[in-house]
Amino acid sequence: MTARRAVRADEQSGRRVEKVGGIWRVGSLEAARQVLRARHQTTQAGFTAEFIPQGRMEHRPILISDGPVHDEQRSQVARFLAPAVVEERYGEMIDACADRLLDAVGVGGEVELHDLALHYTVEVTAEIVGLTHRSAQRGPVARDRAVRAMSRRLVAFFDQPPFDLSRKDLGRSGRQWARAAHKGLWPLLTFYLADVRPAIRERRRNPSNDVIGHLASQGWSSTNILVEAVTYGTAGMVTTREFICMAAWHLMTNPALAQRYVVAGARERLAILAELIRLEPVVGHLYRRTCAEIVITDGGVSHTIPAGDLVDVSVRDANADPLAMQDPLELCPARELPRGVRAAVLSFGDGAHRCPGETLALMEADVLLTRLLARNPQMLREPSIGWDDLVSGYELRGMAVVLDQPSRGHPTGTAV
């Protein structure tokens, strides 16, 4: 019996390496890692990267850039997301944020978990990226109001028409393209005016040790900083938010797993979360365009992918490859995996574009989930599953919980 909840009805799974309709579909873990690690032979093609014009930007966003420019950008910002830095600099802030939001719900209070997780992840991400300024620091009420407003702006950015990366026009009609422009540009403008521009101005006056402060000190233009802030803001908010909801759903409907989680130490809790995101990867597909011929292998069988072809790496399939692990659709923390494969497998990507925020995402999730479970939550309504084309991932909405009295002696420390 599968433990996986996020299964897309219109998604064909089970392919290992196969060319279908002009696209290479890769579901083999062995072959997927080879594609994602082909540094100088592929370029980013996911997240509509090939449809984003360079225009007047001298810096391409880190999520969709490649080569030496990408490597340099990544090395400069990686220090803000290093495990020791995250714990030392942001640990207390993350703890306090989780406590404040849950305390605001109160004993007997009901909350939609996707809203709680949204405000939590936006506040944490805003602090690390540097999307904070004096107007948002006047006090708890002003801060909460600013975070909720920023959350609405970031969510609005994802209200986009569906698209198909396999088609040159993304499969959109003229009307859909017009709607996409309106839905994308207006939230971008309001996000810039309300959040990014004030933060840039403040950091140019008073340099700070965060992402925007770093970019401003490097002389980046406001346009380039805006695009980078959107990249970090949406990535940090969307994926972590959905994973928190999915992990909570599993924990609250699996008493044995929840009991194990609440008494476990930090290392074991992180192992449980890594296994949960292996089973339920938020980003289900990663896309690459070959810029040179590459040869990949799967079980001793070679496949040659010509230059210029689009490759769809199915993270959901690769993370549950039956030739790479036993009982892949079951939940088994600390499971045995092939040598060199991380516990989360490909849920945070691999190669040059592997997500640098893995430690932060798991820490955020652990802090909030640990405190949530300490309040003996009761599920009033299970979530419904939707799908987002931009990140090829699931969306959980409508999960309502009510909180009870905190448990005595429950561990509420940070995960790292």
Confidence of residue 242 (pLDDT cuts 50, 70, 90): very high
Compare 409 and 234 and report the one with higher pLDDT: 234
Mean pLDDT over each residue of the chain, to the nearest integer: 86
Compare 393 and 260 and report the one with higher pLDDT: 260
Give yes or no for residue 151 having a pLDDT over 50: yes
Compare 267 and 40 and report the one with higher pLDDT: 267
How many domains would you assign to the chain? 1
Tell me what the mean pLDDT of segment 371-378 comes to: 95
For residue 413, being part of any structural domain is answered with no
Tell me what the mean pLDDT of segment 253-271 comes to: 96
For residue 71, being part of any structural domain is answered with yes
Which burial class, exposed, middle or buried, applies to 404 when counting CB atoms under 10 A from its CB (0-12, 13-18, 19+)?
A: middle
Q: What's the one-letter identity of residue 294?
A: I
Model pLDDT, residue 233 = 75
For residue 408, being part of any structural domain is answered with no
Q: 375: domain CATH number?
A: 1.10.630.10
Model pLDDT, residue 354 = 86
What's the distance, Cα to Cα, between the start and end of the chain in Å?
Answer: 33
Model pLDDT, residue 415 = 39
Give yes or no for residue 409 having a pLDDT over 50: no
CA gap 369, 389 in Å, rounded: 27
- pLDDT tens digit string along 153-198? 888 777 766 666 666 666 667 776 677 666 667 888 888 899 999 9
Structure token digits, residue 17: 């390496």
Model pLDDT, residue 161 = 65
For residue 12, being part of any structural domain is answered with no
DSSP track, 129-181: HT---GGG-S-HHHHHHHHHHHHHHHHHTT------TTSTTTT--HHHHHHHH
Give yes or no for residue 63 having a pLDDT over 60: no
Give residue 254's domain range: 17-402
Of the listed ranges 55-64, 209-218, 396-405, the one predicted with least confidence: 55-64
Tell me what the mean pLDDT of segment 288-316 comes to: 95
Tell me what the mean pLDDT of segment 268-273 comes to: 97
Model pLDDT, residue 407 = 61
Model pLDDT, residue 186 = 80
For residue 4, being part of any structural domain is answered with no
Cβ–Cβ under 8 Å, residues 215 and 225 = yes
Model pLDDT, residue 61 = 60
- pLDDT tens digit string along 342-362? 999 999 999 888 888 899 999
For residue 228, being part of any structural domain is answered with yes
Model pLDDT, residue 411 = 43
CA gap 332, 338 in Å, rounded: 15
Model pLDDT, residue 308 = 92
How many whole angstroms from its chain centre is CA 73? Answer: 19
Tell me what the mean pLDDT of segment 214-233 comes to: 85
Q: What is the DSSP letter of 79?
A: G
For residue 11, being part of any structural domain is answered with no
Give yes or no for residue 234 having a pLDDT over 60: yes
- pLDDT tens digit string along 109-133? 999 999 999 999 999 999 888 988 6
DSSP track, 322-336: TTTSSSTTS--TT--
- pLDDT tens digit string along 67-115? 666 666 667 777 788 888 888 888 999 999 999 999 999 989 999 999 9
Give yes or no for residue 367 having a pLDDT over 60: yes
For residue 181, being part of any structural domain is answered with yes
Give yes or no for residue 414 having a pLDDT over 50: no
